[in-house]
Amino acid sequence: MYDMKALYEAGSVEEAVRLRIEHPEAQIIAGGSDVLVQMREGKRAGKELISIYGIDAMRGVSIDENEAIRIGSLTSFSHITRDPIIQKYCNVLGEAVDMVGGPQIRNIGTIGGNTCNGVTSADSASTLHAWEAIVELTGSNGVRRVPIKEFYIKAGQVDIKPDEIQTAIIIPKESYEGTYGHYIKYAMRNAMDIATLGCSVNVRLSADKKTIERARIAYGVAGPVPMRAESAERYAAGKSVSLETVEQFGAEVLNDINPRDSWRASKAFRQHIAVEMAKRCLVCSIKLAGGEI
């Protein structure tokens, strides 16, 4: 039994927006795998909840009119992993969210909830950053689109207005076309864990597969919110596919990331594995893209 003050259930996006306005203090709950846990801990005890879990229109993956991949915010992790569109165009996202918790968590957990929490360790977040995803928010004035990087304000805080809910995550064609990526979740065990560090890399190679046209890399837990490693990306752009490039790409990462010391891991340790993970992810991405290394 949860210590909640009241529960409001939305059957549609419009209803959710109306409930948001009517109950400004209320917390949105999607799959609940974080909100309910926090409520039990006492952190959100006694609060009102707006459940959007029943809005089936917010589930599913599709290709929109601009050929962008559109992921409904309530799509569960397991459905993302199994989705043929994701598997075809952005398989790494499916792989990344397949590392969240365990199977039951992946059946209840949603990509919307995972991003709206604003936590740096979210397994979807680094890949969505590395693929420059767009967050779609729906409010009383209609739809607003925000690049994922701007969506994250600070630890635990994202850009959602009081009358809005997040309705979709969009990956534009320009972002996924010809692009291949790899994600490494560094955790202390192989299931039921949160990331000590998450690293997602993707590349687009030249037609002859000898040159990196574009490399993007993002981390979770390398700072208070998920972050790109921009100097590493700048370095790699236009470089030849070689171990030399991989080596320097890894080294550049340290200019960008800012992990902290905590009981979960020391800064020095996180920095060390961040470099190693960047290199391994890049090599893997290059291979997926057809490059030889």
- Which residue type sits at 235? Y
**DSSP three-state, residue 13:** helix
Q: Is the dihedral of CA 51, 53, 57, 63 positive or negative?
A: positive
State which residue, 272 or 287, has the beta carbon closest to other proteins: 272
Nearer to other proteins, 38 or 231 (CB): 38
**Min dist. Cβ of residue 205 to other proteins (A):** 20
Least distance to other proteins, CB of residue 231, Å: 19
The one-character DSSP state at 159 is: -
The binding site for other proteins (CB under 8 A) comprises: 1-7, 9, 29, 32-33, 36-37, 40, 42, 45-46, 51, 53-54, 78, 101-105, 107-108, 186, 188-194, 196, 243-244, 246-247, 250, 263, 265-266, 268-269, 272-273, 276, 279
Considering the complex, what minimum distance in angstroms separates the CB of residue 143 from other proteins? 27
Which lies closer to other proteins via its Cβ, residue 32 or residue 198? Answer: 32
Dihedral of CA atoms 194, 75, 154, 203 in degrees, nearest 10, equals 80
Q: Where are the beta strands (DSSP E) in 33-120?
A: 47-51, 61-63, 69-72
Nearer Cβ to other proteins (4/96): 4
Q: Give dist(CA 39, CA 7) in Å, integer.
A: 13
Residue (of 117, 277, 256) closest to 197 by Cα position: 277
By C-beta, is 146 or 273 nearer to other proteins? 273
Q: How far is the CB of 194 from other proteins (least distance, A)?
A: 7
Q: Which is nearer to other proteins, 258 or 266 (CB)?
A: 266
DSSP per residue, 164-225: -EEEEEEE-HHHHTT-EEEEEEE-SSSSS---SEEEEEEEEE-TTSSBEEEEEEEEESSSSS
Nearest distance from residue 225's CB to other proteins, in Å? 21
Q: Residue 108 or residue 146: which is nearer to other proteins going by CB?
A: 108
Question: Within a 10 A sphere around the Cβ of 208, how many other Cβ atoms?
Answer: 9
Token duo for residue 292: 């030889």
- What is the closest distance, in whole angstroms, from the C-beta atom of residue 80 to other proteins in the complex? 14
Closest distance of CB 199 from other proteins, Å: 12
